[in-house]
Every structure is written in C-alpha cells, then in structure tokens.
Structure 1
Amino acid sequence: MLASENIMTFKSYQNRANLFVKEYLLADSLIPYTSVVTGILACKMVYELTQLIGTSYFKIYSSFSKIQRIEWNNRAASTMHAIFITSMALYMVFCSNLFSDYQSTELITVRSSSLSTFALGVSVGYFIADLGMILWFFPSLGGYEYVIHHLFSLVAVAYSMLSGEGQLYTFMVLISETTTPGINLRWYLDVAGMKKSKAYLINGVVIFISWLVARILLFIYMFYHVYLHFDQVEQMHTFGQLLVIIVPLVLSVMNLVWFSKIIKGLRKTLAKRQ
C-alpha cells in the first residue's frame, strides 16, 4: 500500500515537472531565452567538469600554467558545443523535412520550429560564454580574428533564433563547427608533448579533409543555394538579407586564410617525417 502511494506521488511530481517544462521552459515564447541560458550553463558545467577531471586524472594538467589550464577547460566546452550543434545542423539541413522544397509552400527563408530555435539558442549561449572568456583573457585565448568570428556568428545566430529568418543558412554555416574537435585535439596533443606522434599527423590530415568539406565546399554549396532561392531571400528583412550574404562571405575569407595555414602546417609536418 505504501509502495503504491509512493509511486503515485512520484508520478504526480513527474507530471508536474513535465508540465512545467512544456508550459514554461519549452513554451514557444520562452524557448529563445531558456535555450540561451541552457547554453551558458552547459558551458559552465563542462568547464567545471573538465577542470575536475583534469586535476584528478591527468598528471600533466597540474604542470600547466594558469592560462593553459583555462584554455584546456575552455576547449572542452568548445568541443562539446561543436558536437552538439554539428549534430543538430546536419539533422536540420539534411535529415529533417523542415527545409525541404517539397514539404511546404512556406518560404524556405522563414521556416523554423521549436527544436531548431532551441538548438540555435544553445549555440548563442555558447558564443556569449566563449566570447566573454576570450575578451576577459584577451589575447591569451585568441586574437582579434577570434573576436570578429564570434561577434559575426553571435549576431547572425541570435538574429536567426529571434526572428526565425534564415535558419536554414544559419545551420549550413554552423556545420562548419565539424572542424572544431580536430582543432582542439591538435592543441591538446601539442601541449601534451605529442607533436611528433602518429596521432598528431592523422589528426592533421583529418583537419585538412574536414576543413575542405565543411568550411570550403559546403560554403560554396550554401552560396549556390542562396542563388537558387534568392527570390525568397529578397523577401527577408533587410538586416536578415545582409546577414545571409555578408556573414558567410566574411567567414569564407577567414576560412580560406586559416585553410592556407593548415596546408602549410600539414606540409611542414609531412616534410619532417620524410
């Protein structure tokens, strides 16, 4: 009898919790705000967990300088965000019917859903947290190019989240986060003294391939998609149109500059092994 009452009580609390999440946390009007807070808190949680794990399980962690430990923790949050948003972006662009030309008569540039908005909000939360870290420890965690990259990304993603415009193109650009785990792993291997290891070389090749696909070829495809649907892009607000065109262009230039550095670095690594 007592067990039955406990089960009923538990189910009652569970129903209330589900109702709270559905009616408040995931209410359409609140999703942009709850998702941003979720993104910031997730970054904080990953940062703290990484610090705890590093202190407990990695002997090399204690030998790092203060700024190296901060970067170690910060890159873990960066990696987790990259995995999350890349997965969501790939699903939204290639698996979901939300942006399919054949599933709706609604303009492709104004389509959105609770899930797509939530995912973008989490990303906004990450960019806010990471930009704050970069500025606070400037220039230790990244120079002006990182500030520019994050500012453009933050404005574009936030606008898309709040307005519902251009979410397809925002997700296309966010697929470029595919390269982030490899870049972070390269840093981890470097500070761990494994720059001459086979893992470092393999990671370099993976970075080259993923960068070529996600930050060069995919951007070309995105511009082609914009060209094909430019009549719909023109119906967006002026600011939205500018973001759809200017932000990817700026990021493309930065991607090409970084790609040239990746090629030089890979060549140098391969030359040393011959």
Structure 2
Amino acid sequence: MDQSPEQNEQIMLPFSVVSGILMCKTVYDITGKVSSQLYKGYNGLKNKDRIEWNNRGFSTFHSLVVTVVSFYLVFISDIFKEDHHNPVTLTERKSHLSSGLQGISLGYFIADFAMIVWFFPSLGGMEYVLHHLLAIFSISLTLTSGKGHLYVHTLLLTEATTPFVNLRWYLDLTGKKSSTLYLYNGLTMLFGWLVARILLFVYFFAHLYLHFDEVKYTFPLGPYALVTVPSVLALMNLFWFSKILKGAIKTLAKTKHC
C-alpha cells in the first residue's frame, strides 16, 4: 500500500534530523584523522584546540551544503518563484529537498549546540548559545508547520560566511596571522558578511513586508517568529560586522605601514 505524502514526510523529517547529527559526528572524526595526516602540528595541539578544530570542520561542511542547496531553492528553482497562476502561496510552498535540508540543518544545530554547552565557553559564548537556540526554534517551527520554508532557506544562506570565519581561526591558531592568505581571507569575509548577513536581511525584510498578507496566516506563532527572530539575528550580525570592520581597518593600517 502506497504511503501518503504526509506519511512520507513524517518518516523523512526525523530521519533527516538524525542524518544531520550523524553527519556532524562523521565529519568531526574525518577532520581529525585527515588533519593528523596532513598537518604535523595537529597532534601537538592542546585538547581543547583539537576539539574546536574538528568542530569547525563539520560546521564548514554544513555551511557549504546548506549554502549551495538554499541558493538553488531560493533563487534558481521554480518552487519559490512568484507565480500568480500557482494557487499555493509562497509561505506554504515546500519540497522534499527543502524539508530534508532543513532537517539536516536542524540536526547540525542540535549537535553543535550540544558541543557549545558541553564545552562552554571554549567553543563560543552566550551569543553562540542564543544564535543556535534561535536557529533550532525557527527550523523546528517551519518543519512542524510545513510553512515558511522560503524564509528559513533565505536565512540559512547566511551560513555562506562560516568557511571564511573558520579559515581565519585555523590561520590564527597555526601562526599564519601575518600571511597574505589571512589578509585576503579577512577581506573576503568582510565582503561576504556585508552581502550574506547585512544586505540579505534587507532583501529578507523587504520580501516579508511585501508578502505579509500571506505571512500573517501561516500559523499562530508565524508572523511573530518571522519578525522577531530575524530582527535579533540582524542586530547580532550588525554587531559582529562592526567588529570585523574594525579588525579589517586595523590589519590594513598595519599592512600599509609595513
């Protein structure tokens, strides 16, 4: 007997969340094994640094996956394109791909949050705890309601900056802070942050405003969550951007004097 789409989704969602958690564990282990072979200084690192090294390995992997797939879903595929002939509103549209990716991403945020709390504050302070709680809350609401997929995938595009943040940490830890790569990575991170975590939010809120007649009928918490959570994230991103900008100006000033 064939299963209904609802039954298929009930099976797929917990499977994708567990897959996200297992993905983190697998990439964490692979990062450690590969790093010990390719970088001689890895085994000499402090235990807390090896833990963070491997943790940043799976956060980089997750960011690459969700950035590519979310960009495809939001800007390339037909699922979220404006179509007045489509009776399904933008807030109600979804696919197995969008649901599966959100489930995997939820698994990642749960796994990373658990590590942040367990090793607190080595892997990040309260701002990281807040960021991950907001991510877990938002994705959980979307998956359980089946609505708002477009907006969650738009927010997941902010993960595009993560590889540059992680590379900066790796270069700093391995004594490459004065290298040209460190400088170029910092400038790329600054530009990427401006696009993916500042300008993208301008697009997000503009889209939300223009489609608020649809947003307010998503689910009871929908309108409040879609305004409050991104607003908090936007403020956090502005704060971090100011710190990145100050660091870039300071680095460029030192480079100019050299």
Check conservation: 1:35, 1:118, Cα contact below 8 A: yes
Question: Residue in 1 aligned with 2:161?
Answer: 179
Q: Does 1:219 align with 2:187?
A: no
Question: Residue in 2 aligned with 1:79?
Answer: 60
1:60 deviates by 1.1
Question: Residue in 2 aligned with 1:16?
Answer: none
Deviations 1:45-94 (A, max 9, x none): 00000111122221111121100000000000000000001111101100
Alignment of 1:60-139 (within 5 A): 60-102=41-83, 104-139=86-121
User: In structure 2, the residue corresponding to 1:142 is in which secondary structure?
Assistant: coil
Alignment of 1:160-239 (within 5 A): 160-239=142-221
Instruction: Give aligned-pair identity as a percent.
Output: 48
Give the distance between the partners of 1:158 and 1:96, measured in 2 at CA: 23
Q: State the 4+ residue runs in structure 1 displaced beyond 6 angstroms.
A: none
Give the distance between the partners of 1:36 and 1:155, measured in 2 at CA: 14
Check conservation: 2:216, 2:222, Cα contact below 8 A: no
Bigger drift between 151-160 and 74-83 goes to 151-160
Q: How many residues align?
A: 251
Bigger drift between 158-167 and 200-209 goes to 158-167
User: In structure 1, the residue corresponding to 2:60 is in which secondary structure?
Assistant: helix
Check conservation: 1:32, 1:162, Cα contact below 8 A: no
Question: Residue in 2 aligned with 1:147?
Answer: 129
Q: Does 1:256 align with 2:235?
A: no
Give the distance between the partners of 1:257 and 1:248, measured in 2 at CA: 14
Deviations 1:229-249 (A, max 9, x none): 010011111212222111100
Check conservation: 1:215, 1:255, Cα contact below 8 A: yes
Give the distance between the partners of 1:124 and 1:211, measured in 2 at CA: 22
User: In structure 1, the residue corresponding to 2:10 is in which secondary structure?
Assistant: coil
1:179 deviates by 0.3
Give the distance between the partners of 1:137 and 1:264, measured in 2 at CA: 29
Check conservation: 1:175, 1:214, Cα contact below 8 A: yes
Q: Which runs of 5+ in 1 are unaligned?
A: 1-21
Question: Residue in 2 aligned with 1:6?
Answer: none
Give the distance between the partners of 2:42 and 2:129, measured in 1 at CA: 27
Q: Report the AA paired with residue 230 of structure 1.
A: F
Deviations 1:34-53 (A, max 9, x none): 00011000000000001111
Give the distance between the partners of 2:188 and 2:143, measured in 1 at CA: 31
Give the distance between the partners of 2:223 and 2:16, measured in 1 at CA: 25
TM-score normalised by the chain length of structure 1: 0.89
Bigger drift between 110-119 and 131-140 goes to 110-119
1:162 deviates by 2.1
Equivalent residue in structure 1 for 2:223, among 225, 229, 241: 241
1:28 deviates by 2.2
Question: Residue in 1 aligned with 2:25?
Answer: 44
Give the distance between the partners of 2:188 and 2:95, measured in 1 at CA: 33
Q: Which runs of 5+ in 2 are unaligned?
A: none
1:157 deviates by 1.0
Larger radius of gyration: 1
User: In structure 2, the residue corresponding to 1:236 is in which secondary structure?
Assistant: coil
The CA RMSD over aligned residues, in Å, is: 1.4
1:159 deviates by 1.3
TM-score normalised by the chain length of structure 2: 0.95
